[in-house]
Structure 1
Amino acid sequence: MRDAFLAMFPIKSVIVARPVQNRNNQYIDQVETNRNGKKTFLYPVFPRYFKNIEVICEAARNLDPEYCQVLLTMNGSENAYSRDIYSKYKSIPCIKWVGIRSREEIMELYNLVDCLLFSSTMETWGLPISEFKQTGKSMILIDLPYAHETLGDYEKVMFFNSNDLNSLLDCMKSFILEVPHYTPNMKKEIAMPYANGWSELLDYIRNRIELSQ
């Protein structure tokens, strides 16, 4: 992300501040719930064009509803884009339109589902990836730099090529059949200047101000 900002703007230095995760969240634990025998996927999303919801829906069109379901946190009432998406894909039996949820409800969904889907093509930080990581469950993520950077060290992940339906479908089918082809992700060392969370970032800024005076 630093490299992208340096390329886009006439600046010489970018401070990277990685969010610090709260691992004591009361809504997250390691429980695996599969109440109806189906594999349940979740894409926690507010409908925007860059969220790339279509590729998820097209994949769901090619899956058997007897064996899986895909939860989308939208229902077509949010904006014009969501209405178009819902109108186009509302008849697909695999898709469950659960609507916008509160953060607490999203955390509960993390606990209930089997696998996170994340297909957004433009993010600075994929927050649902960080949140879902705490469950230790499987993820299927778009193969873009932000997804790798957000995820850090993690074993149970598959990456699919951007806008490649067959690549995504292959990942989802392998998970449903319980033969996932994981590609473990490794955290990259972050060059200085770097801050681990907001507290370190504020300390760094204060020190820079003091040195400049």
Structure 2
Amino acid sequence: MEKKKTIVVSAVNLNVGGTLTILRDCLSYLSSLNKEGDYRIIAVVYDKDLAYYPYIEYIENKWPKKSWLNRLWYEYISLNKISKQIGPVFLWLSLHDTTPNVIAERQAVYCHNPFPFYHWKFKEILFAPKIVGFSLFSKLIYQKGIHRNLFVIVQQQWIKDAFKRMFGLAKDKIIVALPTENSDNNWSIKPSEGTVEIPSFIYAASPNSHKNFECLCEATRILAINTDSEFNVKLTIDGTENAYSKWLYKKWGSVKQIKWEGFQDRKSMFKLYNEASCLVFPSKVETWGLPITEFASFKKPMLLANLPYAKETAASTSNAAFFNSENPQELAELMLAFIEQKKGVFSTVPEKNLEEPVSKSWEQLFSILLK
């Protein structure tokens, strides 16, 4: 009798946000794949209750999440011992950037940290030292062991191109795995019809310095000086979360057009999308840009950073315009053009040609990994 192939998914660092969704979607697919017990599937996770599915064995460990030193020790020392204890492993898939030092017939790593490509500013050392640290060291973390992988998985073509240059990886070793659309995205909210009395801009993002809230805040201040028209700009921060958001509020809290909405759950977020006239997304680096995808379903205009991630995320949408993410004046002019309903501001974003191998679902991805 042929022995079952063992698949291990390691993800001890994923316990919140979009990366947790990736873990859940991955294990959900593997659970359905293993209904007949054809595989032995093991998930190494922070907390199995966050992503529990049948037909999967779990190894839990919260210790690696406590510090980067713990994490690196676990990835390069502890997981090596665990891989020996598990026995012959056919595929080891790391879902969080690092390539662990394990014994497996084949390895793959899912890379969704954009910070090797982030150009930070000196002021961020003061209120976002972790972001600066990620930018400085994430390239080294990616690089260690990356050539051990049969495949490296990324979400966009521009990252694939960057990885080919940065690490000398062959194009057929990098899979562009397009994020799958969440079935709960629309929350049964129908796009609003007709015109909105007061133009409303929305920026959905966490209070991290690479999200570049300052560009939109300063553009709002400039716009308020240069128009008598009413408008508002809604931010999903409240100015109290961390040193960065406190700095933002201190500098632009007096701009009455800025509405500090704070964190939103998904249902509230889609309600804000529905009420908004236009999305603004000035983030300086992303591996995808989920709010762009979410807002695009409402068929309303979007003002986006003129960067590769935004153009790729917005590909084939018909209502987008791009601005220099370092130029609040340029953004203010586009916002004014939107308020005054000037023609020719927004246009269709061309499709992006993707280089094979490409996957559009977890089923397609694992068919490549297990082939």
The answer (yes or no) to whether the contact 1:33–1:114 under 8 Å persists in 2 is no
Identify which of 232, 237, 240 aligns with 1:77: 240
The answer (yes or no) to whether the contact 1:27–1:108 under 8 Å persists in 2 is no
The residue identity in structure 2 corresponding to 1:47 is P
Matched, 1:26 2:187: yes
Note the aligned Cα RMSD (angstroms): 1.8
Deviation of 1:33 after TM superposition, in Å, equals 7.0
The answer (yes or no) to whether the contact 1:157–1:184 under 8 Å persists in 2 is yes
1: CA distance, partners of 2:329 / 2:337: 12
* Partner-residue secondary structure (3-state), 1:38: coil
Deviation of 1:23 after TM superposition, in Å, equals 6.7
Identify which of 144, 149, 161 aligns with 1:3: 161
The answer (yes or no) to whether the contact 1:34–1:113 under 8 Å persists in 2 is no
Matches within 5 A, 1:2-151: 2-12=160-170, 13-22=173-182, 25-32=186-193, 37-64=197-224, 66-151=229-314
Deviation of 1:20 after TM superposition, in Å, equals 2.7
Partner residue of 1:211?
Answer: none
Instruction: Give the total of aligned pairs.
Output: 206
Q: Which residues of structure 1 form unaligned runs of 5+?
A: 208-213
The answer (yes or no) to whether the contact 1:33–1:112 under 8 Å persists in 2 is no
Deviation of 1:187 after TM superposition, in Å, equals 1.1
The answer (yes or no) to whether the contact 1:43–1:116 under 8 Å persists in 2 is yes
Deviation of 1:171 after TM superposition, in Å, equals 1.0
Matched, 1:191 2:355: yes
Cα deviations by residue, 1:142-201 (Å, 9 ceiling, x for unpaired): 000000111110111110012112221111011000115113201112110100122211
Cα deviations by residue, 1:93-120 (Å, 9 ceiling, x for unpaired): 1100000111111111111111000000
The answer (yes or no) to whether the contact 2:175–2:358 under 8 Å persists in 1 is yes
| TM-score, L = length of structure 2 | 0.53
Deviation of 1:73 after TM superposition, in Å, equals 0.5
2: CA distance, partners of 1:56 / 1:4: 28
Deviation of 1:10 after TM superposition, in Å, equals 4.1
The 3 A distance-change label for structure 1 pair 23 and 185 is farther
The answer (yes or no) to whether the contact 1:19–1:198 under 8 Å persists in 2 is no
1: CA distance, partners of 2:313 / 2:258: 27
The residue identity in structure 1 corresponding to 2:368 is Y
Q: Identical aligned pairs, as a percentage?
A: 38
1: CA distance, partners of 2:370 / 2:238: 45
Identify which of 325, 335, 341 aligns with 1:172: 335
The residue identity in structure 1 corresponding to 2:256 is P
The answer (yes or no) to whether the contact 2:222–2:329 under 8 Å persists in 1 is no
The answer (yes or no) to whether the contact 1:142–1:160 under 8 Å persists in 2 is yes
Partner residue of 2:23?
Answer: none
Cα deviations by residue, 1:23-75 (Å, 9 ceiling, x for unpaired): 7732442214766x210000001111111111100111022375210000001
Which structure: larger Rg? Answer: 2
| TM-score, L = length of structure 1 | 0.90
* Partner-residue secondary structure (3-state), 2:331: helix
Partner residue of 1:210?
Answer: none
